[in-house]
Amino acid sequence: MSQPPGAPARLRVGVVGTGRVGAVLGAALAAAGHHVVACSAVSQASLDRAATLLRGVPVREVPDVARAADLVLLAVPDDDLAGLVRGLADTGALRPGQVVVHPGGRHGIGVLEPAARLGALPLALHPAMTFTGTALDLDRLVGCCFAVTTTRELRPVGEALVLEMAGEPVWVEEEDRALYHAALCHTSNHLVTLVAQGRQLLEAAAIEDPARVLRPILTAALDNALRSGDAALTGPVSRGDAGTLAEHLTALTAHPDVRPTYLALARETARRARAAGRLRPDLADRVEAVLEQEETP
């Protein structure tokens, strides 16, 4: 790529891995005016995504995808990324001036060092969103934050690519990537588990449509938590209602898969409510006594 750092020129893009993320980001780059020239796909699901989101783009072997592109998007699982980069570098599939991008959350650009040694331009651009691997995700990218990690000189290139995909760039230092990714996974992935457990309990309580019951309270709780943090805490733990807490734990003895989650979150809620001054020390002691007593059914 002969273009100096700044707004990227129209690039030939190669998408390595047409999973849920790779296919969507490839389509977003195409919508921004870049030319997706090749992609790789192995599973039938990946082939289907490529055919739908990257219509007309030839499916090739991974080294051929990289060689054909000015910008190589390496959309593979985090654990596979280092080996892939080494392999592409060792086989001569990468070249000086080529932009090499990965959208993983865990890694910064250290994992792209074999490519950087060859003169490639390393970028880590992680969208803070969950993906379905369908065209719906393209709308969700609008305003989505992308964690940008690269060299200071290449920061304008990374930020420009994010803006072209309708996202919002957020700078994350190399050493902070793991903590950044842990924060997203802890909140979004574990929220799914928590909601699924709530649905399970409501179904056991003979509620016909658990989602209809949960949606308003979850929406309000999420909005309040994002606005106010610990000040949004409500419920029996933050009120110091130890009797209600004990009754909950008794009811949950019939659900041993959910009970440990409830206990762990109740303990952390009590700790945070006490630290934030929302739970009086005497009431906090009662709550913690119940939690200690009821830890094992």
Q: Mark whether 203 and 285 lie in a shared domain.
A: yes
Q: Are 157 and 5 in contact (CB under 8 A)?
A: yes
Does any domain span residue 3? Answer: no
Whether residue 108 contacts residue 85, with contact meaning beta carbons closer than 8 Å, is answered with no
Closest CA to 21 of 175, 192, 183, 144: 144
Domain-terminating residue out of 146, 172, 198: 172
Residues 26 and 163 in one domain: yes
Q: What was the pLDDT predicted at 1?
A: 40
Rounded Cα–Cα distance for residues 223 and 212 (Å):
18
Is 209 among the domain residues?
yes
Q: Same structural domain for residues 168 and 200?
A: no
241 with 147, same domain: the answer is no
Containing structural domain, residue 44: 12-172
Both 199 and 228 in a single domain? yes
**Amino acid 3: pLDDT:** 45
* Of 60, 41, 61, 37, the residue nearest 49 (C-alpha): 41
Kindly state whether residues 189 and 124 are assigned to the same domain. Answer: no
Residue 148 lies in a domain: yes
- CB 112, CB 100: distance < 8 Å: yes
Last residue of a domain, one of 152, 172, 192: 172
pLDDT of residue 149: 98
pLDDT for 2: 39
> Are 161 and 36 part of one and the same domain?
yes
Residue 41 belongs to some domain of the structure:
yes
Is residue 128 within 8 Å of 145, Cβ to Cβ? yes
The CB-based long-range contact list for 37-42 (8 Å cut-off, 24+ gap) reads 37/12, 37/13, 37/68, 37/69, 38/14, 38/64, 38/65, 38/68, 38/69, 39/14, 39/15, 39/65, 40/15, 40/16, 40/65, 41/17
Q: Do both 33 and 164 map to the same domain?
A: yes
Tell me if 5 is assigned to some domain. no
| Residue where a domain terminates, one of 114, 144, 172 | 172
- What span, in angstroms and rounded, lies between the C-alpha atoms of 122 and 119? 9
Q: Are 63 and 90 in contact (CB under 8 A)?
A: no
What was the pLDDT predicted at 293? Answer: 82
State the 10-residue block means of pLDDT for the chain, 297 residues long: 54 97 97 97 96 97 98 96 97 97 97 98 96 95 97 97 97 97 95 97 97 97 95 93 94 95 95 92 93 68
Q: List the structure tokens of 115.
A: 């490519």
Q: Are 175 and 106 within 8 A, CB to CB?
A: no
Identify whether residues 184 and 127 lie together within a single domain: no
Q: Does 165 share its domain with 185? A: no
Residue 270: C-alpha distances to residues 193, 194, 232, 283, 289 (Å)? 21, 18, 13, 10, 11
Looking up tokens 């060859």 gives 118
CA distance 28 to 77: 20
141, 135 contact by CB (below 8 A): no
Asked if 145 and 37 sit in the same domain, the reply is: yes
- pLDDT tens digits for range 251-287: 999 999 999 999 999 999 999 999 999 999 999 999 9
Q: What is the CATH number of the domain that holds 70?
A: 3.40.50.720
38-61: string of b/e by CB count within 10 Å (b at 16+)?
A: bbbbeeeebeebbeebbeebebbe
Whether 1 is covered by a domain: the verdict is: no
Asked whether residue 204 falls in the same domain as residue 155, the answer is: no
Q: Indicate the number of domains in the chain.
A: 2
